[in-house]
């Protein structure tokens, strides 16, 4: 049975990915940093449906030693990690002139350096087995940029080029690296938006609706699996045409 490690798995896109992977027969390591109760409840839900399917594991992507310890715990429980989904991330809206160095560094520490740390933790095993898949979660704003979200847009843009470069480096070892760039998705990050704001965003989307976490999860699981065996270095937009 294949094992996937999903960071930020307690809610939103991460939780939807966990459910989809479990439904496809994967063992799922649910990485959490602040959402312990939600993540443990999700693990219990998945294990009730199929025993020994899910493991909630503390994963603070800003803590290098903690990341290595989490990887070791997953391997003890499930064996080798066949897929990594770099989903953990933070976002903040503010004028660029109000962005402090701490704001900038914090955005990149989670959205970029955290991805680097997690990938470094799983790659020795993947390289040894000469197989594996990494799926990084970027954003439509990493493709086209967003006003009042310059640090977030820059960090998510870096996710895309990280994906492209690492795919070229790891391809000869049989490891694929791809990226998903969600558009406007109904998650906790949308909590501050009013119903009117959401209606406007839906109206600006060619498919005339806001996306669901499950829409993103379907793309992630596809890229992770054998049906995408000749796909690497790609960024798949799951955005309903928004911003194109």
pLDDT digits (tens, 9 = 90+) for 164-213: 999 999 999 999 999 999 999 998 877 777 888 888 889 989 999 999 99
Percent of the chain with pLDDT over 70: 100
Q: What is the pLDDT of residue 200?
A: 87
- pLDDT tens profile 103-126: 999 999 999 999 999 999 999 999
Quote the CA–CA distance of 55 and 115 in Å, as a whole number. 20
Q: What is the pLDDT of residue 7?
A: 98
For the domain 3-238, what is the CATH superfamily, name and number? NAD(P)-binding Rossmann-like Domain (3.40.50.720)
Q: What is the pLDDT of residue 193?
A: 78
Q: What is the pLDDT of residue 195?
A: 86
- pLDDT tens profile 125-145: 999 999 999 999 999 999 999
Q: Read out DSSP for 27-92? A: EEEEEESS-HHHHHHHHHHHHHHSTT-EEEEE--TT-HHHHHHHHHHHHHHH-S--EEEE------
pTM (two decimals): 0.96
Q: What is the pLDDT of residue 113?
A: 97
Residues annotated as catalytic (active site), given as ranges: 152
The pLDDT of 86-90, averaged and rounded, is 96
Question: 149 pLDDT exceeds 80?
Answer: yes
Contact 182, 211 (CB under 8 A): yes
Main-chain dihedrals φ then ψ at residue 79, nearest 5 degrees: 90, -160
Mean residue pLDDT across the chain: 95
Token digits of residue 108 = 């990149």
Quote the CA–CA distance of 43 and 38 in Å, as a whole number. 9
- pLDDT tens profile 222-237: 999 999 999 999 999 9
- pLDDT tens profile 9-64: 999 999 999 999 999 999 999 999 999 999 999 999 999 999 999 999 999 999 99
End-to-end CA distance of the chain: 39
């Amino acid at each position: 049975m294949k094992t996937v490690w999903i960071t930020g798995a307690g809610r939103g896109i991460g939780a939807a990915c966990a459910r989809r992977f479990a439904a496809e027969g994967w063992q799922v390591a649910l990485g959490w940093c602040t959402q312990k109760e939600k993540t443990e409840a999700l693990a219990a839900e998945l294990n009730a449906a199929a025993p020994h399917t899910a493991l909630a594991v503390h994963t603070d992507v800003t803590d290098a030693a903690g990341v290595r310890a989490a990887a070791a715990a997953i391997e003890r429980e499930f064996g080798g990690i066949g897929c990594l989904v770099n989903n953990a991330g933070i976002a903040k809206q503010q004028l660029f002139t109000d962005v402090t160095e701490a704001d900038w560094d914090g955005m990149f520490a989670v959205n970029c350096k955290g991805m680097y740390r997690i990938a470094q933790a799983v790659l020795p095993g993947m390289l040894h087995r000469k197989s594996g898949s990494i799926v990084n979660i970027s954003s439509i704003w990493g493709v086209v940029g967003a006003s009042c979200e310059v640090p977030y847009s820059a960090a998510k843009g870096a996710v895309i080029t990280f994906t492209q470069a690492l795919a070229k480096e790891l391809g000869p070892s049989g490891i694929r690296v791809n990226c998903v760039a969600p558009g406007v998705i109904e998650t906790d990050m949308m909590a501050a938006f009013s119903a009117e704001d959401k209606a406007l965003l839906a109206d600006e989307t060619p498919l005339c609706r806001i996306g669901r976490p499950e829409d993103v999860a379907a793309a992630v699981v596809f890229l992770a699996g054998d049906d995408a065996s000749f796909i690497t270095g790609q960024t798949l937009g799951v955005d309903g045409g928004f911003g194109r």
